[in-house]
A = this chain, B = another copy of it.
Amino acid sequence: MLPMARKQGSHSDITGPKVHQAALRLIAQHGYAAVSMRQIAAEVGVQVGALYNYTSDKQSLLYDLMHSHMRDLLDAVAATDMSGDPVTRLRAFTCFHIRYHLPRSDNVFVSYMELRNLSPDNFTAVEAMRRDYENILEQILRDGEAEGVFSVADTRVSTMALIAMLTGLSHWYREDGRLGMDKIEAIYWDLVRKAVMA
């Protein structure tokens, strides 16, 4: 088969997403700095130059991955029912976090590990969104403390501690492992609840 400047059934609508998928997978596996544009192109099945129809440069590609992940995360959490008393809300947040993150380990990995490879402006933007997400949990803890149902030594630190605990799960969880998502959810909810309960 001879090389073709344009393949059958190949459009911007197909190649565009493919570029992002390939970049996400490769960067999650090897890291941003260790992945070349040529590797991404090869995974898509295209030459390097073609990538620049879909991103202005490598940095923007990384930013797009991280920014869209955070946007989707914030949209999803906003669409989740978080009403009720603080304990119910904490449970809803915990379960949401686990169920949203576990099937998206590549996204989590990239958004966690590649922060330092963002340009200063891009870093600020992504960091603000991460902070927005953390604040949702922090507010739940504050409300629970105000009602006297939660009791933690420091709300902000406890927020960070719980987020770290929950996010760490994505780093070692394997879908084909010993425990299913329901079990995991129960175990983590048990730890979270007890840790903050008055």
Contacts and interface: CB of A to CB of B under 8 A. Distances in A.
Nearest to A28: B116
A188 B196 CA distance: 11
Interface stretch (A16-24, A29-37, A59-67, A83-91): A29-37
Chain A contact residues: helix, strand, loop or mixed = helix
A169 B164 contact: yes
Given A152-B190, A161-B165, A167-B168, 10 more contacts: A33-B33, A153-B190, A154-B179, A157-B184, A160-B172, A164-B164, A164-B165, A164-B167, A164-B169, A164-B171
A102 interface: no
Interface in A179-198: 179, 183-184, 186-188, 190-192, 194-197
- Counting chain B CB atoms within 10 Å of each CB, the highest count among A32, A190, A197 belongs to A190
Chain multiplicity (copies) = 2
Interface of A: 29-34, 113, 116-117, 152-154, 157-158, 160-165, 167-169, 171-172, 179, 183-184, 186-188, 190-192, 194-197
A158 B184 CA distance: 10
Contacts of A197: 194
27 contacts: A31-B33, A31-B117, A32-B33, A32-B34, A33-B33, A33-B34, A34-B117, A152-B187, A152-B190, A153-B191, A157-B187, A158-B187, A158-B191, A160-B168, A160-B172, A161-B165, A161-B168, A161-B187, A164-B164, A164-B165, A164-B168, A164-B169, A164-B171, A165-B168, A168-B168, A192-B195, A194-B194
A154 B197 CA distance: 20
